C-alpha cells in the first residue's frame, strides 16, 4: 500500500479488545482467511493489498486472562513482557510482506457468527512510513486485526498493521500509525 495520513486516529476495538471474555471452547482445527485491506488517504486516494491470516489456535480464558491483567496493570510494556514465551496463535501477512506471528487470538460469538481478534507483538506494516514528513515509528509495537465472519466464514473487518494499544477508562483503544481505519473486505475462510 502506498497511502498516508498525517492525523492520528483512534479505533475502539470491536467488543473492547480483551475485555469481552473469549468463548470457552477447546482447541479447534486450524483456519485460514484471506481479505483485501483498503486504506483511504487524506487526499482521497486509496490503496489496497491482499491480507492472509492463519489461526492455529484460539486462546482459552485461562491463557488470555493473565494477559489482560498484565495490560491493565502495566500497559503495553507489561503486555509485551507477558507475551514472552507465549506460543504463536497464528500469522498475519499483508501483500508480499513478511509473515508475522500472532501472539493472541480471541474468539467471541456475535449474532449469527463470530468475531476474531488477532494481535501480533510486532508491527506488520507501517503504512505511509516512507513518505516525506512521516511520523516516528516508535511505540507502534503491535498489529491488531478484527474479523467478523458468518457461519460460512465470510465477512468483513479492520486491521491496524502498526498500532499502539492504550487503555481509556475501561475501554481498550488502538491508535493506528496510519491514522485511520483500514477496512478489510471480502474476508473469506479458505481452510
pTM for this predicted structure: 0.83
Asked if residue 1 is part of any domain, the answer here is no
Q: What is the pLDDT of residues 14-40, one digit of tens each?
A: 333 444 444 444 456 799 999 999 998
Intervals of the chain under pLDDT 50: 1-26
Residue 41 located in a structural domain:
yes
Does residue 54 fall inside a structural domain? yes
163: containing domain = 9-189
pLDDT on residue 28 = 64
User: Model confidence over 105-125: pLDDT tens digits?
Assistant: 999 999 889 999 999 999 999
Number of domains into which the chain is organized: 1
Asked if residue 29 belongs to a domain, the reply is yes
HEC string of the chain? CCCCCCCCEEEECCCCCCCCCCCCCCCCCCEEEEEEEEEECCCCCEEEEEEEEEECCCCCHHHHHHHHHHHHHHHHHHHHHHHCCCCCCEEEEECCCCCEEEEEEEEEEECCEEEEEEEECCCCCCCCCCCCCCCCCCCCCEEEEEEEEECCCEEEEEEEEEEEEEEECCEEEEEECCCCCEEEEEEEECC
Is residue 4 domain-resident? no
Domain membership flag for residue 3:
no
Q: What is the pLDDT of residue 170?
A: 65
Amino acid at each position: 500500500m502506498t497511502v498516508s495520513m498525517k492525523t492520528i486516529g483512534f479505533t475502539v476495538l470491536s467488543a473492547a479488545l480483551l475485555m469481552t471474555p473469549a468463548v470457552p471452547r477447546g482447541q479447534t482445527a486450524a483456519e485460514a482467511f484471506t481479505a483485501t485491506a483498503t486504506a483511504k488517504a487524506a487526499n482521497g486516494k486509496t490503496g489496497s493489498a491482499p491480507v492472509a491470516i492463519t489461526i492455529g489456535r484460539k486462546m482459552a480464558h485461562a491463557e488470555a486472562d493473565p494477559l489482560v491483567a498484565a495490560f491493565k496493570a502495566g500497559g503495553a510494556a507489561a503486555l509485551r513482557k507477558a507475551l514472552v514465551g507465549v506460543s504463536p496463535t497464528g500469522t498475519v501477512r499483508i501483500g508480499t510482506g513478511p509473515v508475522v506471528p500472532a501472539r493472541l487470538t480471541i474468539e467471541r460469538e456475535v449474532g449469527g457468527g463470530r468475531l476474531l481478534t488477532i494481535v501480533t507483538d510486532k508491527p506488520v506494516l507501517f503504512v505511509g512510513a516512507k513518505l516525506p514528513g512521516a511520523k516516528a515509528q516508535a511505540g507502534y509495537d503491535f498489529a491488531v486485526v478484527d474479523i467478523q465472519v458468518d457461519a460460512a466464514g465470510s465477512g468483513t473487518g479492520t486491521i491496524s498493521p502498526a498500532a499502539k494499544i492504550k487503555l481509556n477508562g475501561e475501554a481498550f483503544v488502538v491508535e493506528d500509525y496510519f491514522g485511520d481505519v483500514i477496512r478489510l473486505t471480502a474476508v473469506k475462510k479458505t481452510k
